[in-house]
Amino acid sequence: MRITNDQEFKAALAALDNCSRRQATAYLIRQALDLTPDTRVRAGLDLAVRCDANEADLAVAASGVNSARVATYTQCGHDANWTCQASHFVARAAQECVKPEISASGAWEAAMQARMARICQAIAAGEGTSNREAEAQYRALEAYLNSKEGQP
């Protein structure tokens, strides 16, 4: 399967069942983990890729991810630290993955937050508005879908 644009990307996410969608989305977000040092976010995504994750475990992970998200807001009047802000958006993306049910729109939302994180990194580096995260997400989702092919 080849994904070349956002419509195909959204359709591919929508076609998955809940567990696969959470797993696939978590894989997408993991690609942006270089933008956050927060272990709570990493732990949340590690749990999200497991289909046997139960609601209680997800709730604990969600609490940690939420704390990471709130802690990385840039407060009003503070100097914008775009590197820290990238970390915030990774946490926001991860938040969708640790919900018991992840809808197609939630998966898309998470992907967009991860792209936003990469934009923040680009702003911090003074690299303008170019964002290659979308393309990277297409390839990651293709890889995930291909790995699922042939599985029962």
Partner 1 sequence: MSASLDKGVRVLKEMIDAPIASYFSSCVHCGICAEACLFYTETGDPKYTPIHKLEPMRRIYEQEYTLLGRLAKRVGLSKAVTDAELAEWQELVYNSCTLCARCSAVCPVGNDIVYMVRKMREGMSAAGHSPEGIKGAVTRTINIGSPMGVKLPAVKAQMKHAEADYGIPIPLDQEGVEYLVTLSSMEIINFPEYLGAIAKIMRHVGKTWTLSSEAFEATNAGMQIGNSDLARVIVSRVVAGAEKLKVKTVISPECGHAYTALRWEGANLIGRPFTFKVQHIVEVLEEFRAAGLLKLEGMATDRLTFHDPCQLARRGGVIQPQRNLMKMVAKDFVEMPDAGFMNWCCGGGGGASSIEEGEELRLEAFKRKKRQLEAVKPDRLVTACANCRIVLEEGLEHYKMNLPVVGLTETIAEHIPDA
The contact set with partner 1 (CB under 8 A) reads 6, 63, 66-67, 70-71, 73-80, 82, 85, 88, 112, 115-116, 119, 122-123, 126, 128-129, 131, 134
Query: What is the closest distance, in whole angstroms, from the C-beta atom of residue 148 to partner 1 in the complex?
Result: 26
Which has the closest alpha carbon to 65: 37, 85, 86, 45?
45
Q: Closest CB to partner 1 among 8 and 19?
A: 8
Which has the closest alpha carbon to 13: 24, 28, 26, 4?
24
Query: What is the closest distance, in whole angstroms, from the C-beta atom of residue 82 to partner 1 in the complex?
Result: 8
Q: Closest CB to partner 1 among 57 and 73?
A: 73
Cβ–Cβ under 8 Å, residues 138 and 9: yes
d(CA 35, CA 37): 7
Q: Closest CB to partner 1 among 18 and 63?
A: 63
Which ranges constitute the DSSP H helices of 5-150? 6-14, 18-30, 39-48, 55-71, 82-97, 104-124, 133-148
Question: Helix, strand, or coil here: 107?
Answer: helix
Query: What is the closest distance, in whole angstroms, from the C-beta atom of residue 137 to partner 1 in the complex?
Result: 12
Query: What is the closest distance, in whole angstroms, from the C-beta atom of residue 8 to partner 1 in the complex?
Result: 14
Q: Closest CB to partner 1 among 126 and 150?
A: 126
